[in-house]
Structure 1
């Protein structure tokens, strides 16, 4: 059987990659998958209205990740924070997922930001108060917090000193160590100049100054700059005991593998579609088999680079397409109508690359769904 894609004819795999149906959590690295939300396709909502979430399917996907030994990074940008999922939906997601994690015995961290603020300028005090509200909710849910980069703080801060003041205040009152999230402008253009400078060396210096002042309140840092050299340089300068969680969806195999001076843990959006394969790869690394780890994970980079190609912030569309094709949800619909954010050729290539890796548990179902999707776009089979 073949399938006609916009860029040519492709012969899908007949069988998936052989992976264990479940697995223990990796031991040599801490690994979180940022997880997407499943929209409710029957909700009568507009693209700019409140998000309508299919809670059963959304929580089932988190149980899938936990069953393979991965932790879940909840209510992050992969869950469309600020791109379809507002604070009302995110707060409900945090409460439900944290309760589900407790029941399932799964690891979870949750994003705390400032997206409940109304549009328009905010004062630094208002930004801090918004962070405090979200941090309190995350901690009361029983989860550890990820302090997410804030559009409102980027707009309000006059320089590095305002970042140090805001984050310092939050770290002093955090009940448990948090993960600091540095999200680059390729993921969100409104975050350009974060940490008080568009000069990344200067921004890194401010970031490290904050961590050095509060090392006991920082579990780790998630770096999403798509710059392996800079991440390696940063992680070598972190205080003892502060982890580096790679958020680099272009270079994650080499960063997780590490070098003679250390390695990165992982908190990655691409581990949403790669979950079972990624978990197996890190368990192979646990055994000391670096070559086996790279043999499993290196071939996935082509798919990841495709999903995260510019405009990078729209990677969620490809992630959700692959979740539908893999059978984790019954439709290809996204909150905010974001299913329309990527082109037909882009999504078709994502299908082909994922199928070549053997990511679909049922390749025939994935092929049938992809053919339906193509037919709706005028590509006859």
Structure 2
């Protein structure tokens, strides 16, 4: 049977769903690359909430999805951008998510890294009357509170980019000082996260400059001052050449975790000078296929790795198309179609952030890759969504 899917030009096109899903060929631990999937949260659809109220999370379904990721050999990057951090999930909710997921990781032996930010400082970029020492002191205190919580759970810390720091810092020196303080007191090596403004416009000018070359120098200076406290860096700039250039300048032993959801196959495969590990939001829907590809890479078969992973890029670029920060909607939509949750509802009402044609194309691309364990269920749910929108099917 065919499904009539809406297109961006206002028309429809007939699509014949795939009948068989992709089936992973193995379950061996990943060896040649360290791979994290940034994971989404599952909302409680029956909670009486509003878009600007506290997030209501379905904890059982949220933790079950993390077990799904661990079962394929991936690590979980928790309470980060993909979990709607700062876009529906506040610090209170994130703290509970970190505690629960870290405990679950211990129970099942899964690898976990958790986001450390400053989102308990409400008021956005207009919070501070002026940049300077007082504002930076508040930012440092917020980071320290979150770092203590994450390290207290036994999880690895990811020092995320901070909207508050972007507003409070007067220039590169303030970034050097604040990150130096944080790295000096971290108990274990952390992952530093550079999230570009395409993911969050409030982070424009991070590291003290809108000139990316100048910002890169400050970023590298932070790392060079504390190489023993930096496990790696996550680069989310959607610029493969810039990531490769930065990767080649990292101190010995400091890893590069690609966060480039447009160019990840080539960056993970690497070149004669090195490669990137991965911490990717797109690996949330791609988990079984991505893990299988890395196992192929573990055998030294780069061509086989690219043959598996390259076809996923079209879906990734679709999910992360501008405005990129709304990619979470497509990620959760695909989790619903795949049967990982019983509804398509998101914290903060973010299920409304992408159009029906966008979602229909995501379904088509994901189905073509065999990402739905039960293609019939995915088709039925896609048809139900079309009914809700009053679309012909």
TM-score of the superposition, structure 1-length normalised? 0.99
> Which structure 2 residues correspond to residues 102-181 of structure 1 after superposition, within 5 A?
102-119=106-123, 120-122=126-128, 123-181=135-193
Deviation at 1:121, TM superposition (A): 2.4
> Which structure 2 residues correspond to residues 221-300 of structure 1 after superposition, within 5 A?
221-300=233-312
CA deviations over 1:166-194 (Å, ceiling 9, x no partner): 10000000000000000000000000000
1:339 aligns with 2:344: no
Instruction: Choose the corresponding residue for 1:19, options 20, 24, 47.
Output: 24
2:131 corresponds to which residue? none
Aligned length: 380
CA deviations over 1:319-365 (Å, ceiling 9, x no partner): 00000000000000000000000011101000000000000000000
Distance in 1, matches of 2:226 and 2:251, equals 10
Distance in 1, matches of 2:228 and 2:270, equals 24
1:54 aligns with 2:66: no
TM-score of the superposition, structure 2-length normalised? 0.96
Gaps of 5+ in 2: 8-12, 129-134
Distance in 2, matches of 1:292 and 1:283, equals 10
What secondary structure, in the 3-state scheme, does the structure 2 residue paired with 1:198 have? coil
What secondary structure, in the 3-state scheme, does the structure 1 residue paired with 2:85 have? coil
2:375 corresponds to which residue? 363
1:326 corresponds to which residue? 338
Distance in 2, matches of 1:114 and 1:379, equals 42
Distance in 1, matches of 2:311 and 2:369, equals 8
1:41 aligns with 2:45: yes
Deviation at 1:224, TM superposition (A): 0.1
Q: Are the counterparts in 2 of residues 121 and 156 from structure 1 also a CA contact under 8 Å? A: no
1:6 corresponds to which residue? 6
Distance in 2, matches of 1:38 and 1:24, equals 28
What secondary structure, in the 3-state scheme, does the structure 1 residue paired with 2:242 have? helix
Distance in 1, matches of 2:187 and 2:29, equals 25
Deviation at 1:19, TM superposition (A): 1.6
Distance in 1, matches of 2:349 and 2:49, equals 10
What secondary structure, in the 3-state scheme, does the structure 2 residue paired with 1:175 have? coil
Distance in 1, matches of 2:23 and 2:96, equals 36
CA deviations over 1:106-148 (Å, ceiling 9, x no partner): 0000000000012142400000000000000000011010000
1:192 aligns with 2:196: no
What secondary structure, in the 3-state scheme, does the structure 1 residue paired with 2:93 have? helix
Distance in 2, matches of 1:2 and 1:118, equals 48
> Which structure 2 residues correspond to residues 188-227 of structure 1 after superposition, within 5 A?
188-227=200-239
Gaps of 5+ in 1: none
Deviation at 1:380, TM superposition (A): 2.5
What secondary structure, in the 3-state scheme, does the structure 2 residue paired with 1:5 have? strand
Deviation at 1:235, TM superposition (A): 0.4
CA deviations over 1:32-68 (Å, ceiling 9, x no partner): 0000000000000111100000000000000000000
Deviation at 1:18, TM superposition (A): 2.1
What secondary structure, in the 3-state scheme, does the structure 1 residue paired with 2:157 have? strand
Q: Are the counterparts in 2 of residues 33 and 71 from structure 1 also a CA contact under 8 Å? A: yes
Distance in 1, matches of 2:121 and 2:107, equals 32
What secondary structure, in the 3-state scheme, does the structure 2 residue paired with 1:291 have? helix
Deviation at 1:17, TM superposition (A): 1.2
Distance in 2, matches of 1:312 and 1:214, equals 32
